[in-house]
Amino acid sequence: MSRVMTPRSVGNTDGLDPDSCENVLIDSCYIDTGDDGISIKEFTYIVSRNWCIGSATFCGIYDILFEDSTIGDPYTVTSPWAIKFKSHLYYPGPMENITIRCIVMGKIGPTPWMYPNQPGSVLLLGLSYGNGPPSKGRSGKPILKNVTFEDITAMSAGVAGKIQGVPEDCLQGLTLRNISVLDGEANWRCNHIDLSTLTISNVYPPVSCSGECTTCKSSTSTSTSNTTLVDGNLTATRSG
């Protein structure tokens, strides 16, 4: 078992940052840091058990499995986020075929040492990190495609999920299944999603997503369960 310990009160103290790698297994690790426990950069096929993706996605991040893990503490807030995806808007690369499953989270919320004035978020997915124009020779749009979150439980959080594509390129193939935030004022913020490829099942609190994008339009043809489409927005409720 590997242990990585860095001061919680110091930023940019990531635990593990695999970069420009293929075929990596991270297993049976205890990580306590002031920033990302695991931050995956350009990558192909990583399995992580017992994390943030980006923002360095320039060469692409593919085929990621993150499972059977515990994040945070059930009694004390130790992190302002649990799982984060971020891509530079002006230096983008694709993030595709990612599954996160069987995760138990503690209390997620603001901490004195990082984002003290922001609500804690279970899931953060954003494609507009950073600023400034692209460097010469770089072009394209960030891509987040075929991402599955399932069998996830959090004790509490200010925000269940903040999932935002960009107007120029919807987030495609998003699946949310068997997700519960047990306590707190958690809600969802879900924008610029390709609703025709969105799957939602048994999620609490309920999810509402919109799909206003240049490259995809809101659709009544969805692959969701327990959902309702109203005025171009998709709302899902928990079953049972």
Comparing 87-91, 116-120, 177-181, the range with the smallest average pLDDT is 87-91
Percent of the chain scoring above 90 in pLDDT: 16
Q: Domain tally for the chain? A: 1
% of the chain exceeding 70 in pLDDT:
66
At residue 197, what are phi and psi to the nearest 5 degrees?
Answer: -120, 20
CB 24 within 8 Å of CB 43: yes
Q: Are 29 and 16 in contact (CB under 8 A)?
A: yes
Domain range enclosing 114: 2-236
Name the CA dihedral angle for 6, 26, 144, 89, rounded to a multiple of 10 degrees: 30
Q: Say which amino acid occupies 163.
A: I
Which whole number is the average pLDDT over 95-118?
A: 86
- For the ranges 76-80, 182-186, 218-222, which has the lowest average pLDDT? 218-222
Give me the pLDDT at residue 214, please.
Answer: 58
For residue 135, name the pLDDT band (cuts at 50, 70, 90). Answer: low
Torsion sign across C-alpha atoms 11, 7, 156, 224: positive
Confidence band for 69, pLDDT divided at 50, 70 and 90: confident
- Binning pLDDT at 50, 70 and 90, where does residue 44 land? low
Range among 7-11, 54-58, 217-221 with highest mean pLDDT value: 7-11
- Nearest residue to 122 via CA among 89, 98, 142, 149: 149
DSSP letter (8 states) at residue 195 = G
Tell me the sheet residues that pair with 185.
Answer: none
Higher pLDDT, 139 or 83: 83
Which among 38, 52, 134 is positioned nearest to 86, based on CA atoms? 52
Predicted confidence (pLDDT) per residue in 15-41, tens digit: 777 777 777 777 777 777 666 677 766
Domain CATH for 91: 2.160.20.10
Whose CA is closest to 235, among 205, 214, 212, 197? 205
Strand segments, DSSP code E, in the chain are 2-5, 21-26, 29-32, 43-48, 61-71, 81-88, 94-108, 121-129, 143-157, 159-164, 172-183, 188-191, 199-204, 207-210, 227-230, 233-236
Residue 219: its pLDDT value, please? 35
Query: Exposure pattern of 32-68 as b/e (b: 16+ CB <10 Å)?
Result: bbbbbbbbbbbbbebebeebbbbbbbbeebbbbbbee
Most confident of 116-130, 204-218, 221-235: 116-130
Q: How far apart are CA 124 and CA 139, in angstroms?
A: 24
Question: Does this model's pTM top 0.95?
Answer: no
